[in-house]
């Protein structure tokens, strides 16, 4: 929610900021945490620290123990080992003391009983209220401040069971914030949740962390985790198998180890973040080798389509820095590269011809032609089978004053010409 970004940062008037900045380094210390149910080990030897301002995403496949870990930190499950929050041991703390240090947004946000939204948010103040005391003005103020923050102030008098899933989640998030803790645990609602609200808690959390809170979130969607979290903890079978910055954790090996998928991990050029692609099932591996000639982004879509179709691929020649190179990187495709802003050198040209000859067929993408890459057209003439993708008029893509166009038209006589959208129709 973009409009919340301008709102007042949440005051951080809890014990830790009062205690000074010495303890800021480690807000949460978890050591040798083990947890079993009926002799079945759910969590094993969990060790990690969380510093102030960190937004930690706990990722891993279903059953990895993400939710269990959060519940141990929240004191709901009694684990063995050591959990320290703000320098104090969790063992021996009453629920009330824990509630003053850790708040948790649970996964299941359904409330079937008709309490008003305000009353629900006020339950976050429980740990601050005496048994014989009514809510103080300060409690109402806090409740309304966090309702405003999560954009639920207008729902104050509504009954919680009449709200939509997204509204309810925001209300319960306001409730967790009303506890005014430094550490917030977030158990991400499962994917069945309203898609429009899937990210809202992450946006709020990221902002909270910038304001000095620490959020640990169990995240199911890896891409969301990468996008919002400053650090990721990857779990598998109750153990941490990787912990660190997103690009350190989301690697091909780790994803294979945790999820058993062969993902393609790369740096997204637009977001600058680590990204990954899990190719469609290429179980129908074909015994066909394709060579792709492209550039300027024209080859990327074609390569992905071929990759998912189970073809073996070679590509080239691209100039250094060409956006299509990002794609061939990701898919691990043998690619010919030449110096930018200069003609393709003879050696590379020869290699290109070899690749084209070795391929079962060659695809010439809908690419611009200049003096630098005109040799690609010459090389294409060596193709046994040539497919030319033509989405726009080649005249508009010729920057050689007609020279390339001549070559291109000559190639067309011997090739299948098709729009990119219909490429699958002509692939052997």
Partner 1 sequence: MKSGKNIPESTVYKKMRIVLPAMVAVLLVLIVTAVAVGPVYIPFGQSVRIILSNMGLLNDPSLPRDQNAIIYLVRLPRALTACLAGGALASCGAAMQGMFRNPMADPGILGVSSGAGLGAVTAITLGFAARSIYMLPLFASVGALMAVTLIYLLSLRKGKISSLTLILSGIAVSTFIGAVTQLVLMNSNNYEVRSYVFWAMGSLNGMMWSHVRLIAAPVVILILVLAFFARDLNLLLLGEEEAQSVGLEPSRSRKLLLLVTSLTVAAAISVCGPIGFVGLIVPHILRLITGPDHRILIPASALGGAIFLTGCDILARLPANGEISVGIITSLLGAPFFLYLLIKSRREGELF
**And the tokens for 359?**
């391929």
Least distance CB 331 / partner 1 (angstroms): 45
Terminal Cα-to-Cα distance of the chain (whole angstroms): 48
The residue to which tokens 């394709």 are assigned: 290
Q: Is 126 in the site for partner 1 (CB under 8 A)?
A: yes
Least distance CB 126 / partner 1 (angstroms): 5
Q: Is 95 in the site for partner 1 (CB under 8 A)?
A: yes
Interacting residues of 242 by C-beta distance below 8 A, sequence separation 6+: 232, 233, 234, 248, 249, 251, 254, 258
Contact 400, 371 (CB under 8 A): yes
Contacting residue, 49, 84, 135, 343, with partner 1 by CB under 8 A: 135
**Interface characters, 221-240, with partner 1 (x: CB under 8 A):** --------------------
E strands, 121-193, where? 183-187
Q: Is 123 in the site for partner 1 (CB under 8 A)?
A: yes
Least distance CB 62 / partner 1 (angstroms): 19
Question: Which of 13, 329 has the CB closer to partner 1?
Answer: 13
| Contact set for partner 1, span 244-303 (CB under 8 A) | none
| Contact set for partner 1, span 320-339 (CB under 8 A) | none
| CB hemisphere CA count around 414 (13 angstroms) | 16
Binding footprint of partner 1, residue count (CB under 8 A): 45
**Interface characters, 46-75, with partner 1 (x: CB under 8 A):** -------------------------x--xx
Could you tell me which of 166, 159, 217 has the C-alpha nearest to residue 187?
217
Q: Is 422 in the site for partner 1 (CB under 8 A)?
A: no
Interacting residues of 309 by C-beta distance below 8 A, sequence separation 6+: 282, 284, 286, 424, 427
| Contact set for partner 1, span 159-178 (CB under 8 A) | 161, 175-176
Least distance CB 220 / partner 1 (angstroms): 19
Q: Is 8 in the site for partner 1 (CB under 8 A)?
A: no
Contacting residue, 57, 124, 166, 294, with partner 1 by CB under 8 A: 124
**Interface characters, 178-197, with partner 1 (x: CB under 8 A):** -x------------------
Contact 251, 224 (CB under 8 A): no
DSSP one-letter code for 344:
P
Least distance CB 77 / partner 1 (angstroms): 9
Least distance CB 296 / partner 1 (angstroms): 54
CA distance 126 to 39: 34
**And the tokens for 90?**
């969790």
Contacting residue, 136, 210, 285, 357, with partner 1 by CB under 8 A: 136
E strands, 369-428, where? 386-389, 416-418
Interacting residues of 302 by C-beta distance below 8 A, sequence separation 6+: 292, 294, 363, 365, 389, 420, 423
Q: Is 13 in the site for partner 1 (CB under 8 A)?
A: no
Q: Is 134 in the site for partner 1 (CB under 8 A)?
A: yes
Task: Dihedral sign for Cα 329, 331, 332, 334, please.
Answer: negative
Contact 189, 169 (CB under 8 A): yes
Q: Which residues of this protein are in contact with partner 1, per CB under 8 A?
A: 71, 74-76, 94-100, 102-104, 106, 108, 111-116, 118-120, 122-124, 126-127, 129, 131-132, 134-138, 140-141, 157, 161, 175-176, 179
């Amino acid at each position: 929610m973009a409009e919340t970004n301008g709102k007042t940062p949440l005051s951080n008037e809890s014990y830790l900021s009062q205690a000074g900045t010495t303890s800021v380094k480690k807000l949460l210390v978890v050591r040798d945490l083990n947890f079993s149910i009926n002799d079945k080990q759910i969590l094993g030897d969990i060790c990690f620290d969380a510093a102030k301002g960190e937004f930690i995403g706990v990722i891993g496949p279903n059953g990895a123990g993400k939710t269990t870990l959060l519940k141990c930190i929240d004191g709901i499950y009694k684990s063995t080992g050591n959990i320290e929050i703000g320098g104090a041991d969790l063992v021996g703390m009453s629920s009330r003391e824990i509630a003053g240090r850790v708040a948790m947004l649970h996964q299941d946000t359904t409330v079937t009983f008709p309490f008003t939204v305000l009353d629900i948010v006020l339950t976050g103040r429980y740990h601050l209220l005496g048994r014989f005391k009514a809510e103080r003005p300060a409690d109402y103020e806090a409740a309304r401040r966090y309702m405003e923050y999560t954009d639920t102030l207008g729902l104050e008098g509504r009954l919680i069971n009449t709200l939509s899933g997204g509204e309810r989640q925001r209300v319960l998030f306001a409730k967790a914030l009303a506890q005014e803790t430094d550490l917030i645990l977030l158990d991400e609602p499962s994917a069945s949740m309203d898609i429009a609200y899937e990210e809202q808690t992450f946006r709020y959390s990221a902002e909270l962390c910038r304001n000095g809170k620490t959020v640990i979130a169990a995240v199911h969607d890896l891409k969301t985790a990468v996008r919002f979290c400053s650090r990721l903890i990857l779990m598998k079978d109750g153990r941490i198998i990787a912990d660190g910055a997103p690009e350190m954790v989301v690697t091909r090996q780790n994803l294979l180890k945790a999820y058993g998928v062969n993902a393609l991990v790369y740096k997204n050029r637009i977001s600058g973040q680590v990204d990954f692609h899990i190719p469609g099932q290429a179980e129908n591996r074909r015994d066909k080798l394709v060579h792709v000639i492209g550039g300027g982004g024209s080859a990327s879509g074609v390569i992905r389509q071929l990759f998912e179709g189970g073809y073996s691929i070679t590509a080239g020649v691209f100039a250094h820095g060409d956006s299509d190179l990002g794609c061939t990187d990701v898919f691990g495709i043998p690619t010919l590269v030449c110096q930018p802003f200069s003609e393709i050198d003879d050696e590379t040209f020869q290699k290109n011809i070899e690749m084209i000859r070795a391929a079962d067929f060659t695809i010439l993408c809908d690419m611009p032609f200049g003096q630098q890459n005109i040799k690609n057209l010459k090389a294409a003439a060596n193709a046994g089978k040539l497919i030319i993708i033509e989405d726009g008029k080649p005249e508009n893509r010729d920057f050689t004053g007609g020279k390339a166009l001549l070559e291109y038209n000559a190639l067309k006589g011997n090739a299948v010409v098709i729009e990119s959208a219909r490429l699958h129709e002509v692939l052997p």
